[in-house]
């Protein structure tokens, strides 16, 4: 699935390439596709937040693209919230 570009069916917007797939460890089913955030200033300033597409938004798989339907909504990075909780607990 990596090296496939994610494109919104409704708007034609190109989100980027799949960098990771979230999997439910109990069922073994894919739950979401992750597009890594773009690098800021050649990576010196880190990255933007990852964009996560729940499996329900996937409409079609092609040889080199994946079509999703997001209803024009930009999806936020759920992992950043989990990381914040871990950091808070460590302090």
What does the domain layout of the chain look like in residue ranges? 5-90
Give CATH for domain 5-90.
2.30.30.240
Can you give the pTM of this predicted structure? 0.71
User: 4-8, 48-52, 72-76, 80-84: lowest mean pLDDT where?
Assistant: 80-84
**DSSP secondary structure of the chain:** -TT-EEEETTT--EEEE--EEEE-TTT--EEEEEEPPPBSTTTTT-BPPPEEEEGGGEEEE-SSEEEE--TTPPPP-HHHHHHHHHHHHH-
Summarised one tens digit per residue, pLDDT across range 10-46 is 889 999 999 999 999 999 999 999 988 877 777 677 7
């Amino acid at each position: 699935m990596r090296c496939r570009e994610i494109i919104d069916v409704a708007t034609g917007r190109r989100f980027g390439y799949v960098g990771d797939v979230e999997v439910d460890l109990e069922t073994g089913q894919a739950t979401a596709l992750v597009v890594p955030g773009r690098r800021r200033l050649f990576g010196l300033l880190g990255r933007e937040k990852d964009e996560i597409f729940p499996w329900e938004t996937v409409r079609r798989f092609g040889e080199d693209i994946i079509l999703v339907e997001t209803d024009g909504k930009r999806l936020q990075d759920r992992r950043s919230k989990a990381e914040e909780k871990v950091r808070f607990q460590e302090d």
